Amino acid sequence: MSHSTKVSHLSGSEKVTYRISGKVHYGRYFSAALIFLGLALIVRAFWVGHIRWELVGDYLFGPSIINGIINTLILTAAAMVVGIVLGLAAALMTLSQNPVLNLSARAYIMVFRSVPVLLQLLIWYNLGLVFPTIGIPGLFSVPTTDVVTPFIASLLAFGIMQGSYTSEVIRAGLLSVSRGQSEAATAIGMTRMQSLRRIIIPQAMVVIIPPIGNEVIGMVKYTSIASIIQYKDVIYSAQTIYYTNGRVIELLMVCAFWYLLVVIVLSILQRYVENYFGRHHKR
């Protein structure tokens, strides 16, 4: 079956009419129907399942849940700051002509991209088994367990891991800027740091921002792993509650709601930031 459209135009003194036929895409309608049917079945399964949705609403804004999502956001922000700082330093080191700096940065990237983040988290949290105390010999020392708290262990694990990935993103962004830009900056008397800060990095941000935004969203979800070392994020808070009342799936739905909300907000902010840095290119 097909549909047709009439198109007319004048040719000399005569009016000529063409009939354009278009194919009806049955596959599109069929696939759309299957998708909607699947979604409807999933919604129905959750709706009629053994889930007390009123409890989901009761716990949604509970004090421990709110504190958990706040702790999740704090850890995410702190880890991303550490990751961006380390990533920028490592990216500049890999672009350096100094072989020591270059090889050191590449070794850092290789090691912390290779070791699973869960393993890094456990190593940092159990650092006291290797170094019982931290300090300056003969002056002062404190127990490592007092310093490497669940938050500090999570910050070190996620921040250092993130830096190894962010360095490659920043390096790609810096390399995307034409070499002539830095040469022109040098010609007018700018130092390397001045040209980076005023010319290279602002232009590289157009390339850097999208993947960094994705990594922020990924970090929100990565931080859920910190619950295994008793960091009081939203999942740990939910676990504390359902270990008591046994309403596991209801508390997991609460966590899912907050993660979904946070990711939606961050996605909107990412779009605004991308538009801000890309406004000159659009012009």
**All domains of the chain, ordered by start, with CATH?**
57-282 (1.10.3720.10)
CA distances from 66 to 197, 235, 249, 251 (A): 39, 11, 18, 13
Please give the Cα distance from 1 to 278 (Å, whole number): 45
| Distance, CA of 144 to CA of 125 (rounded, Å) | 10
What is the token pair recorded at 51?
């889930």
Q: How far is Cα 47 from Cα 53, in angstroms, rounded to an integer?
A: 8
- At 20 the three-state DSSP class reads strand
* Cα 140 to Cα 276: distance, rounded to the nearest angstrom: 49
Q: What is the pLDDT of residue 13?
A: 55
Which CB contacts under 8 angstroms, 24+ apart, belong to 28-33?
none
Which pLDDT does position 54 carry in this prediction? 84
Helix-helix angle 99-114:150-175, to 10 degrees: 120
Q: How far is CA 165 from the centre of its chain?
A: 11
What integer pLDDT is reported at residue 103 of this predicted model?
A: 94
Q: Looking at residue 119, what is its pLDDT?
A: 94
Low-confidence ranges of the chain (pLDDT < 50): 1
**Predicted local distance difference test score (pLDDT) of residue 188:** 78
Q: Which residues make Cβ contacts (< 8 Å) with residue 270, sequence separation at least 6?
A: 209, 210, 213, 214, 216, 217
Give residue-wise pLDDT tens across range 17-61.
Answer: 656 555 667 778 888 888 988 888 877 777 776 778 888 888 999
User: Could you tell me which residues are beta bridge partners of residue 2?
Assistant: 23
